[in-house]
Amino acid sequence: MAEPEPPPGGAEGRTLWHGRFAEGPAEALLAFTASLGFDQRLAGDDLAGSRAHVRMLGAVGVLGGDEVAAVLGALDQVEAELGAGAFVFAPTDEDIHTAIERRVTELAGAAGAKLHTGRSRNDQVVTALRHFVRREGAAVRDAVLDLQAVLVARAGEAGTEAYLPGYTHLQRAQPVLLGHHLLAHFWAFTRDVARLDDALARADVSPLGAGALAGSSLPLDPDATATALGFSRRFENSLDAVADRDFVAELCFACTVVMVHLSRLGEEVVLWTSEEFGFLRLADEYATGSSMLPQKKNPDIAELARGKTGRVIGNLTGLLAMLKGLPLAYNRDLQEDKEPLFDTLDTTRLALRAVTGMMATAEFRVDVMRAAADAPASSATDLAEWLVARGTPFREAHAIVGSLVRQSLDRAVPLAELVMTDPHLGPDALGVLEPGQAVVRRRTPGGAGPEPFGPQLAAARAWLAGRPAPPTD
């Protein structure tokens, strides 16, 4: 059978769909619709999908053994060319999938032209993307675990002696152990790991075999390709298989919450490294200087963890907005799934790596923390609870101590002096104001004092140790 006439520009200017078209694509069309600039990073995943597909075609008898071998050989060659940076892209290669198929056809001739049998780019791209997500999503999860290991190690070092003011409304509230504070961040990240694992479990479905939207008249075996690609299962519905990008949205959301957690931790680092707080000193390698002010040491990692969170929130929002109006099944809009996903994964991983290094090397200024936490007003609740233990109703006790704190501030008299002479409190209550006492009294399981800290640290270590080994691809 004769080849259809190539469009003007010769074979080079041919698109995959040239048969139906008398004219080649306008430059403006290619410039606007091409995704090659960003989807090249799916090359390895696309090759894996093509290998699985062509082997399956051989196994079901659609391709002969020689043809399968020829296509596999061409795919190896493409992989080598891509790896060596020797792969030559054509102006009509609108995405990496097109580019690879074009080259396979150049290399393997008629057999190469059979690679796409029973397959559409619609199932091909989403297969590559799910394959990519399993690996890259797991890498983010592992980076979260690295940060958690640092937080647990630093909490362990801080032990039961280091404490600082705990804050509500950014006002000093009650002293808390430094280790307890660090583990608060650790537990937030345990939820991120669970969310990432959960998103990855739902991404673990092979859409290959769904074709453009309806499957094929050829005897395809999507279970075989699912297994060959290491997916746990195949799609249940071909329309859903090519239209579904929930897994992209879920992974972006899980990463966005990681970033929100890094941003909140970052905000504390910004505060703590300020002269006003003085609780933290960053290692030189994890701080930056000012081009003008010689004395400055800036917490840029913490600030950018905060700042880049805005970007990933934007990525997630844009992605959801792109999805919301799409009818079944594939629509070209879906090509817009990749940039937000790639940027979110990259940003989250880089942020995790930098924050992990920053937290591993920062110096906690325990003396400054302690001095701030030992301000007598931090013990106000304990004075009230001292009264409660002796039968005073809490609301009354609260009023008594509140009035003493107010007098102490108004008259510039030390709180201890007022406690000493107060008819409800007196000298027996003074012990409550001793430095370091307030934190020791926080005995509630899961609370901020030294007594519950041991079990909490053990639980955090057990959680880390109990993580299953990351899946090997």
Identify which range of 120-128, 171-179, 351-359, 361-369 contacts ligand ARG by CB under 6 A: 120-128
Which member of 50, 53, 116, 169 is catalytic? Answer: 169
- To ligand ARG, the closest distance from the beta carbon of 98 in angstroms equals 8
Separation CA 406–CA 44 (nearest Å): 68
Instruction: Respond yes or no: is residue 169 known to be catalytic.
Output: yes
Identify which range of 236-244, 328-336, 347-355, 442-450 contacts ligand ARG by CB under 6 A: 328-336
Separation CA 288–CA 299 (nearest Å): 7
Separation CA 312–CA 345 (nearest Å): 9
Within residues 333-392, the interface with ligand ARG by CB under 6 A covers: 334-335
Q: Supply φ then ψ for residue 17, to 5 degrees.
A: -105, 20
Is 190 within 8 Å of 29 (Cβ atoms)?
A: no
Closest CA to 355 of 239, 270, 443: 270
- To ligand ARG, the closest distance from the beta carbon of 45 in angstroms equals 12
For ligand ARG, give the closer residue by CB, 121 or 441. Answer: 121
- To ligand ARG, the closest distance from the beta carbon of 235 in angstroms equals 17
Token digits of residue 456: 């909490």
Instruction: Respond yes or no: is residue 290 known to be catalytic.
Output: yes
For ligand ARG, give the closer residue by CB, 95 or 192. Answer: 95
* Candidate residues 18, 116, 121, 308; the one interacting with ligand ARG per rule CB under 6 A: 121
* Candidate residues 54, 63, 125, 418; the one interacting with ligand ARG per rule CB under 6 A: 125
Identify which range of 117-125, 154-162, 290-298, 371-379 contacts ligand ARG by CB under 6 A: 117-125
For ligand ARG, give the closer residue by CB, 13 or 452. Answer: 13
Closest CA to 459 of 244, 248, 180: 180
Reading phi first (left if > 0) and then psi (alpha if -120 to 50, else beta), residue 118 is in left
Under the binding rule (CB under 6 A), the answer on residue 122 touching ligand ARG is yes
Identify which range of 261-269, 321-329, 331-339, 374-382 contacts ligand ARG by CB under 6 A: 331-339
- To ligand ARG, the closest distance from the beta carbon of 96 in angstroms equals 8
Separation CA 105–CA 71 (nearest Å): 8
Separation CA 144–CA 258 (nearest Å): 8
| Helix residue ranges per DSSP H, 237-282 | 238-243, 246-273
For ligand ARG, give the closer residue by CB, 89 or 394. Answer: 89
For ligand ARG, give the closer residue by CB, 263 or 335. Answer: 335
For ligand ARG, give the closer residue by CB, 132 or 186. Answer: 132
Angle (CA) 339-343-349 rounded to 5° is 150
- To ligand ARG, the closest distance from the beta carbon of 238 in angstroms equals 14
Sign of the Cα pseudo-torsion (105, 110, 112, 113, in order): positive
* CB hemisphere CA count around 21 (13 angstroms): 13
Within residues 56-95, the interface with ligand ARG by CB under 6 A covers: 95
Closest CA to 93 of 84, 85, 104, 83: 104
User: Number of residues in contact with ligand ARG, rule: CB under 6 A?
Assistant: 9
Within residues 33-52, the interface with ligand ARG by CB under 6 A covers: 35, 39
Which member of 232, 274, 290, 403 is catalytic? Answer: 290
* CB hemisphere CA count around 106 (13 angstroms): 16
Identify any residues that bridge with 165 across adjacent strands, giving them in sequence order. 175
Catalytic residues: 169, 290
| Chain contacts with ligand ARG (rule: CB under 6 A) | 35, 39, 95, 121-122, 125, 332, 334-335
